[in-house]
Amino acid sequence: MYDKPQFEIPEAVRELAERNVEQARTAYGQFMEMARKVQDTVSKSQGAMAESAIELQSRVSKFAEENIQASFRFASDLSRARDLKEYIEIQQRYAQSQMKTYAHQAQELGKLMSEAAQKAKPKD
């Protein structure tokens, strides 16, 4: 018998995809820097937000940044895939990893929300 031919992704296409990922990563970095400056300004303004809300906002921003960085790594890995089999394997690993990450993040945010609700309860 003979081996099935592999669908190979040309090197030029992989290089173009990698450059596009890097340009998107740079634009994202600039956006996140601006968002951090806004968050710092808001948190410094006296009485603007409750401590719990600031912590929750900070954690959500951190998770968003982690998830976007994971997406950039994923896109970069995909751009280096040499054939369809490797491409699919990369997708499967990413999906499994992100599902675990999302579950952990949801659990942590739920805990923070619960703590914030407890702090907000009127004391009898």
pLDDT digits (tens, 9 = 90+) for 56-72: 888 888 998 899 999 99
Tokens 């600031």, residue? 54
pTM of the predicted model as reported, rounded to 2 decimal places: 0.64
DSSP 3-state helix, strand, coil percentages of the chain (rounded to 5)?
Answer: 80, 0, 20
pLDDT value for 121:
65
Q: Which residue has the higher pLDDT, 99 or 50?
A: 99
- The chain-wide mean pLDDT, for the chain, equals 79
Residue whose token pair is 């702090």? 119
